[in-house]
Amino acid sequence: MSDDLEYLIAYSNLKNNLFSNQKHFCDRKLLNKFYKDISLGFPICLPANIKYFNYNKAKFYRIDKSEFAKKIFNTKNLNYIGVKKFFRYGDIFAHNVSIKFKYRDKLVKYHNNFIKLKKKILTIRKNNQKICAMQIRNVPHFGHEAIFKHILSRFDFLFLNPIFGIKKKNDFNNRQISIALNYIKKKYKRIFFMPIWTNFHYAGPREAFHHMHIRQNLGFSHFYVGRDHAGAESLYKVNAAANNVKKYKKNFIIKPFISAGGYYCSKCKNYVIKNQCRHKNLKNISGTEFRQYIRNKKIYVHADKKIQKLLFK
């Protein structure tokens, strides 16, 4: 999958009104609004010269890399994966573009995914069932499963709604996530699984808000926010996303559901939600370590063996 396909996916998202805070690719005025209000989430911008678009009527503007890194990613590190990804095609961006006719058929896949997902959510909510959506970009380990159980203790259903888009190197791919979450769906019965085609930005608290806007527009009433939501390279403090979401939750119709995350307690000999266990020395299960085990086709003790064997095939 080529990197520039991200912008075709973004265009489809905008046309389908996936984002409750943005209808078109960002112009300078809208970008300034994002700078001032973290609860708007992540701005969807289009670099110049992406092959899918006509730029004959476009209006161009430059984005200062340092300013964007500080105000959107809250970092001065211009080598952070999110910053590098955003500026990989340069610092000149455009709005007021149209898609080239020959690429319109490529939008069908993303449009149909959006329509099917909306219908599925609407069908579930017709029965007045309590349902919580969760973004997940990893094959789940037992720490994740502790979170699943915690959510299911409060809601009728959990809807695993991972993003299928352009990922950074070494992330689990769409096939691996599909295999794992289809297994989880059967294991727990009250779990639904259906992905959404949109994009990753690795923007931590900003992206938690971005994900809330997406799930609000999809029709979910609740959304789970994790302890390191959409972060990478240990840039963000633990619970930074959750703390920001609590602060601005009145800006949303959708309600956040937050926990302190799943850990292994050697005293209880079980996987627990932090603060629901009286013991203090809890093991944080490493997603990075788990991915390394999967790549090397070795069984990871803190994850379901059956999932791992399915992936090894």
In a domain, 112, yes or no: no
Q: Which of 45, 75, 107 is the last residue of a domain?
A: 107
Among 82, 107, 132, the domain boundary falls at 107
205 & 157 share domain: yes
Q: Let me know whether 236 and 204 are in one domain.
A: yes
What CATH number does residue 192 fall under?
A: 3.40.50.620
Helix and strand totals (H; E) in the chain: 11, 13
Give yes or no: residues 300 and 170 share one domain.
yes
Do 128 and 274 belong to one domain?
Answer: yes
Residue-wise pLDDT for 166-184, tens only, equals 877 778 899 999 999 999 9
| In a domain? residue 115 | no
28 with 146, same domain: the answer is no
Angle at 53 between CA 47 and CA 58, to 5 degrees: 65
The verdict on 49 and 12 lying in the same domain is yes
Angle between helices 240-248 and 205-218 (to 10 degrees): 50
The pLDDT value recorded for residue 3 is 85
Say if residue 46 is in the same domain as residue 67: yes
- What letter represents residue 29's amino acid? K
Half-sphere CA count of 39, side-chain side, radius 13 A: 13
**Pair 268, 131 in one domain:** yes
Does residue 286 belong to any structural domain of this protein?
A: yes
Please indicate, yes or no, if residue 63 is contained in any of the structural domains: yes
User: What CATH number is attached to the domain comprising 43?
Assistant: 3.10.400.10
Q: In the prediction, which pLDDT does 1 show?
A: 59
Task: Answer yes or no: is 289 within a domain.
Answer: yes
Chain-centre distance for alpha carbon 17:
17
Residue 283 within any structural domain of the chain: yes
Q: Does residue 113 sit within a domain?
A: no
pLDDT of res. 230: 81
**Domain that residue 247 falls in:** 120-312
- Decide: pTM greater than 0.85: yes
Residue 92 falls within a domain, yes or no? yes
56, 79, 107 — which closes off a domain? 107
Quick one: 231 and 282 in the same domain?
A: yes
Low-confidence ranges of the chain (pLDDT < 50): none
Same-domain check for residues 289 and 262? yes
pLDDT in tens, 126-151: 777 889 999 998 999 999 999 999 99
Residue with tokens 């090894």: 312
Coil, strand or helix: which one is 293? helix
Q: Which amino acid is at 48?
A: A
Tell whether 243 and 138 lie within a shared domain: yes
Domain count, the chain: 2
Q: What per-residue confidence (pLDDT) applies to 256?
A: 96
170-225 confidence digits (pLDDT tens) = 788 999 999 999 999 999 989 999 999 999 999 999 999 999 999 999 999 999 99
Is there a single domain that holds both residue 259 and residue 290?
Answer: yes
Name, in order, each residue with C-beta under 8 angstroms of 222's C-beta and a sequence gap of 6 or more.
Answer: 130, 131, 132, 133, 155, 254, 255, 256, 257
